[in-house]
Amino acid sequence: MALHRGRGFAAINYPIGMNLGGDPSQALVHSNPDGKFSVALSSIDLGQGMKSVTRQIAAETLGVPVEDVYVDTADSDTGPHCMGSFASRGTHRVGNAVIQAAQEARAVMLEAAAEELEVDAADLVTDGRGNIHVRGAPSRSITTMAACQAAQFRQGRTVSGRGIFLIPLSEVDPDTGEMTPVSCFAHAAMLVEVEVDDETGEVRILDMQSAYELGRALNPGLVEQQLVGGAWMGMSHAAWETTEPRYPDRSHGPVDFNSYLMPGPGDIAPHHISVLERPAPDGPFGGKGPGEMCANPVLPAVCNAVYDAVGVRIDELPVTPEKVLRGIRALGGARPRGRL
Amino acid sequence: MIEFRKEFFADERDDDLATIGQRVRRQDILGHVTGRSPFYDDHRFEGLLHIRCARSPHHHARIRRIDTAAAERMPGVVRVLTGRDVPRNLNTLLSLLDFGLDDEPILAETKVAYRGEPVAAVIAETEALARDAVAAVRVEYEELPHVLDPEEALKPGAPVVCDVYPTNRFIYHGKYDHQKLRYGDVEAAFARADHIVEGRYQMSPIEQAPIETCGAIAAPEVNDRYVCFTGTQGLFFSLGTAAKVLQMPSSRLHFVGGTVGGGFGGKVDSVHEPIAILGAMLTGRPCKFAWDREEEMQVGAPRGAERWYLKDAVARDGRILARKFTGYFDAGAYTRLSSYAVIKAVGHLPGPYTIPNVHADVHCVYTNRTPSTAMRGFGITGVDFAIECHMDKVAEAVGMNPVELRILNAYRDGDMKAHRREAKNCALVECCQVVAEKAGVTLSPEARAASSRTGGGGERARLPAFTRTDQDGRVEGFDTGSYARKTGSAPPPRSESTRHTTAAPQTTPSSQPRPAAPPPRAPQPPAPPLASGQRADAGGSMPPADAASPPAAPRRTGALRFSSLSGFRRR
């Protein structure tokens, strides 16, 4: 009886946004008289960072410090329509709507500043630290606060903007499946190393090496959290979780976290992540959406690694010790492959 | 451990932005780490009532009688709801996009189609009293034969799970009982292949497992409105569903959410909101309807099981010449989002590879189990599991390094995909190369030199000269001009639905529900706003900046609806 190591590989891509389009999201942006901006949405922050990434997108577009922007979501009386937070659509769809709204508000702010400075608005730039100045002449400047104050108290302008992003619905051909299913793709590749006990059938996931391409990483911290957590979910799908362990039989369904298995702290494998950033032509600042796809490559990579280790193909998830052991017995013993 | 490999695609980015690309602290982190962020359940109401459901113990049964009298007499019970109390007791989420037929009652009246289906909702002063009263709801059932395996459900004589779809299959485009993908001629490729590789794969049903279970609190608000605090993932999906089920103008509904304790897809099609609001309407008091963990795991819709059969034609050198899929999505007893998952999966095939012949038949099948819904990786996770396990078998069949096999077959910029659109912005090759380098997998010089930006297009951009099509699975009796509406039914009324100030029992729904406001449609794709720091020439297809303002929509008469997978229909 022995422990066998094996390595498995998988590569995937993932469509961003509701597959057939037809899923609009809107944003409203306005400034108070102090030049502090509110972004009104009805998008949902599930913990993934919706409020935070839209806040950064608004600040970057407006050209103001991120502390000067606050995102308010989701109240149906004040937030404009959003389809929702699912389908990896939040960053992509809502982000684009926020850019459009913030561009409109920024234009008013610059017009107000231009009037105060008696220059052409087209010659003005923002420094991202709360100042607007003439391009190439930093001394001819006004703060964003003073510009917004002047707009509202002297010039009678509302420093505000509206944004919507919609990819129109795609048709699907019933006979060929022809369609325009997505606007952009994220990508990933993953190599997993496992150790299989041929006496108990137990599989330990030892190490994960990955590369994720997800457009521009708008907030590297949020990206890291998604990828770490998502890969954990992937390994959990691969070798632990299911609501129906005897599928299609419905017996033995778990009812709590004692019986619904998930990897605990001792089961978590080190995960070495590399992030590649190929900006999406239609993404906000080139961003795509790392949220969903980060789990997907782990499932097949684990199965392929088990095969590499002991020669057993597990084609039905999850990979349980029982399935592995039955497979080893059917082979008359472990048959390590060592292909990778 | 994470590293950002900025050297890849550096010429397509400017990395000098002020805020974008920075590790800016989360806006809501202080509230979260101090336990003060208000989730839906943190909103406190005096006199809050609690709702619990009585549920079917059977996989499939006819309901002969529901007797709530004993439960209503129990201490602390304020009211017991049954299907007769629900103004429009038939719904499906995607009807808001006019995608599929209403097929699921909020509270079952005539039959139950899965174990755990709700038949009554007790409203009581405390959760414990509500639980006690649920046990006192008497339901007489007549058990029916059930089917749990999707392929069994498609056999002649299988029990009919959902009367709206009597063949246990969702109907696509009013034309076929499955979704087809036809690209080239797979049979011809199988005939000349060096290797045929076949496989069968089973993806398991999985719970989204958010820390915060699904729920909502509703209360009468001033001025004849109702406020609803909710953990939904789609605020307006939930608001539209409530307006439809309660037959109430959306202007009388005020939904508040946005701070949610995890979703992962399980909070997209919830009906906690209409049930809580209905409770508030009928009792005049605030009502909370929240699942416990057992409900979340066994009657809350999971990621559905999927079964996939794959067959590849492979050349000796590792090139995949054809790939054929047969897929079964186990929708459970009602459609929820499974119909859409099938479409998404079909649009994704054959995975991130350029394969000149692809064929798929994918079925959305009804079985007598908890309905399936969305989960992280919706429509994709299961088939990617199948594809990538299959790729490993292909690599073994041709004696090739599994990483090199992926690079050899990877899609590149300019390649034609099986859904007949050109690939762009690809990066699969680079991901494979980075992992191989990190993990010490030796690649051939050709694989190391490969790039997503070269080698694509040209011959690979061409559509197949011949595509084999067929009429298999043709159905009659559905209007092909719409999504799945039966021939002869009147088009749904466009007027505002009748306002019900009280929830009158209404067992027969009106001909068609009034959907929520349809999403507006721009006549052409609006260009995304051009963000600074993104080079307009990088992707090759970036529209000019001035295209960012949406063009004026031509005047149209009649509502444009997401009425069919075949396109928008005017009504």
In a domain, B243, yes or no: yes
Predicted local confidence at residue B530, as pLDDT: 57
B344 touches chain A (CB under 8 A): yes
Which of A339, A334, A326 lies closest to A3 in space, CA to CA?
Answer: A334
Instruction: Give the residue from B461, B480, B507 where a domain finishes.
Output: B461
Q: Is the pLDDT of residue B498 over 50?
A: no
Q: Is the pLDDT of residue A159 over 50?
A: yes
Kindly state whether residues B222 and B260 are assigned to the same domain: yes
Contact at CB, B180 and A176, closer than 8 angstroms: yes
Contact at CB, B21 and A315, closer than 8 angstroms: no
Q: Which domains does chain A have, with CATH numbers?
A: 3-16+184-331 (3.30.365.10), 25-165 (3.30.365.10)
Residue A220 has its nearest CB partner, among B23, B393, B435, at: B23
Q: Which residue of B has its CA nearest to A67?
A: B27
β-strand pairing of A25-31 with A37-40 = antiparallel
Predicted local confidence at residue B520, as pLDDT: 36
* B64 secondary structure, DSSP code: E
Chain segment B72-108, per-residue pLDDT in tens:
999 999 999 999 999 999 999 988 887 888 999 999 9
Q: Which residue of A has its CA nearest to B264?
A: A86
The number of domains in chain B is 2
Q: Chain B contacts of A77, Cβ < 8 Å?
A: 254
Contact at CB, B19 and A260, closer than 8 angstroms: no
Predicted local confidence at residue B152, as pLDDT: 98
B441 touches chain A (CB under 8 A): yes
| CATH number where B332 lies | 3.30.365.10
B1 touches chain A (CB under 8 A): yes
Predicted local confidence at residue B537, as pLDDT: 44
What is the Cα–Cα distance from B259 to A94, expressed in whole angstroms?
16
Q: Smallest CA–CA separation between B73 and chain A, in Å?
A: 30
In a domain, B267, yes or no: yes
Q: Smallest CA–CA separation between B153 and chain A, in Å?
A: 12
Angstrom distances, CA of residue A140 to CA of A42, A117, A190: 39, 7, 53
Q: Is the pLDDT of residue B481 over 90?
A: no
Q: Smallest CA–CA separation between B368 and chain A, in Å?
A: 10
In total, the C-beta contacts within 8 angstroms joining chain A to chain B are 497
Chain segment B193-211, per-residue pLDDT in tens:
999 999 999 999 999 999 9
Kindly state whether residues B317 and B186 are assigned to the same domain: yes
Q: Is the pLDDT of residue A247 over 80?
A: yes
Among A79-93, B400-414, B534-548, which is the least confidently predicted range? B534-548
What is the Cα–Cα distance from B324 to B328, expressed in whole angstroms?
14
Kindly state whether residues B268 and B199 are assigned to the same domain: no
Among A42-56, A108-122, B218-232, B481-495, which is the least confidently predicted range? B481-495
Kindly state whether residues B386 and B242 are assigned to the same domain: no
Q: Smallest CA–CA separation between A146 and chain B, in Å?
A: 21
Instruction: Give the residue from B441, B461, B481 where a domain finishes.
Output: B461
What is the Cα–Cα distance from A19 to B380, expressed in whole angstroms?
11
Q: Residue A248: CB partners within 8 Å, gap ≥ 6?
A: B148, B149, B150, B305, B330, B367, B369
Contact at CB, B8 and A22, closer than 8 angstroms: no
Among B26-30, B340-344, B484-488, which is the least confidently predicted range? B484-488
In a domain, B259, yes or no: yes
Predicted local confidence at residue A182, as pLDDT: 74
Which residues in chain A (137-176) have CB-CB distances under 8 A to chain B?
A: 163-169, 171-176
How does residue B480 score in pLDDT terms, banded at 50, 70 and 90?
low
In a domain, B488, yes or no: no
Kindly state whether residues B55 and B135 are assigned to the same domain: yes
B323 touches chain A (CB under 8 A): no
Contact at CB, B343 and A20, closer than 8 angstroms: yes
Kindly state whether residues B279 and B387 are assigned to the same domain: no
Identify the residue whose tokens are 């490969």: B450
Chain segment B20-49, per-residue pLDDT in tens:
999 999 999 999 999 999 999 999 999 999
Q: Chain B contacts of A276, Cβ < 8 Å?
A: 5, 8-9, 427, 430-431, 434
Q: Is the pLDDT of residue B170 over 60?
A: yes
Average pLDDT over residues B128-139: 98
Q: Is the pLDDT of residue B553 over 50?
A: no
Predicted local confidence at residue B543, as pLDDT: 37
Kindly state whether residues B115 and B194 are assigned to the same domain: no
Kindly state whether residues B291 and B326 are assigned to the same domain: no
Instruction: Give the residue from B298, B315, B344 where a domain finishes.
Output: B298
Which of B206, B114, B37, B546 lies closest to A45 in space, CA to CA?
Answer: B37
Q: Which residue of A has its CA nearest to B380?
A: A14
Contact at CB, B427 and A213, closer than 8 angstroms: yes
Q: Is the pLDDT of residue B155 over 70?
A: yes
Residue B528 has its nearest CB partner, among A49, A71, A282, at: A282
Average pLDDT over residues B547-569: 36
B115 touches chain A (CB under 8 A): yes
Q: What is the pTM of this model?
A: 0.91
Q: Is B195 exposed, middle or buried (0-12, 13-18, 19+ CB in 10 A)?
A: middle
Kindly state whether residues B73 and B177 are assigned to the same domain: no
B128 touches chain A (CB under 8 A): no
pLDDT averaged over every residue in chain B = 87
Predicted local confidence at residue A38, as pLDDT: 98
How does residue B559 score in pLDDT terms, banded at 50, 70 and 90?
very low
Predicted local confidence at residue A283, as pLDDT: 94
Identify the residue whose tokens are 């529900």: B513
Residue B203 has its nearest CB partner, among A168, A187, A317, at: A317
Q: Is the pLDDT of residue B62 over 60?
A: yes
Tell me which of B392, B403, B562 to substitute to probe the interface with A (most A C-beta atoms closer than 10 Å).
B392
In a domain, B556, yes or no: no
* A124, A143 Cβ separation under 8 angstroms: no
Kindly state whether residues B217 and B344 are assigned to the same domain: no
Predicted local confidence at residue B531, as pLDDT: 54
Average pLDDT over residues B154-161: 98
What is the Cα–Cα distance from B398 to B313, expressed in whole angstroms?
11
What is the Cα–Cα distance from B105 to B53, expressed in whole angstroms?
14
* B366, B161 Cβ separation under 8 angstroms: yes
In a domain, B548, yes or no: no
A30 touches chain B (CB under 8 A): no
Q: Is the pLDDT of residue B438 over 80?
A: yes
| CATH number where B291 lies | 3.90.1170.50
How does residue B538 score in pLDDT terms, banded at 50, 70 and 90?
very low
In a domain, B505, yes or no: no
Chain segment B375-419, per-residue pLDDT in tens:
999 999 999 999 999 999 999 999 999 999 999 999 999 999 999
Domain that residue B418 falls in: 151-206+303-461
Identify the residue whose tokens are 């509206």: A162
Q: Is the pLDDT of residue A117 over 70?
A: yes
Predicted local confidence at residue B547, as pLDDT: 37
Predicted local confidence at residue B488, as pLDDT: 37
Predicted local confidence at residue A170, as pLDDT: 85
Which residues in chain B (510-549) have CB-CB distances under 8 A to chain A?
A: 519-522, 524-529, 531-535, 538-542, 548
| Counts of helices then strands in chain B (DSSP H, E) | 13, 18
Contact at CB, A10 and B391, closer than 8 angstroms: yes
Predicted local confidence at residue B529, as pLDDT: 57
In a domain, B351, yes or no: yes
Q: Is the pLDDT of residue B469 over 70?
A: yes
Predicted local confidence at residue B527, as pLDDT: 56
Helix, strand or coil for residue B313?
strand
Q: Chain A contacts of B59, Cβ < 8 Å?
A: 250
How does residue B528 score in pLDDT terms, banded at 50, 70 and 90?
low
Kindly state whether residues B80 and B109 are assigned to the same domain: yes
Kindly state whether residues B127 and B254 are assigned to the same domain: yes
Helix, strand or coil for residue B287?
strand
- The tokens describing B313, both together, are 């034609």
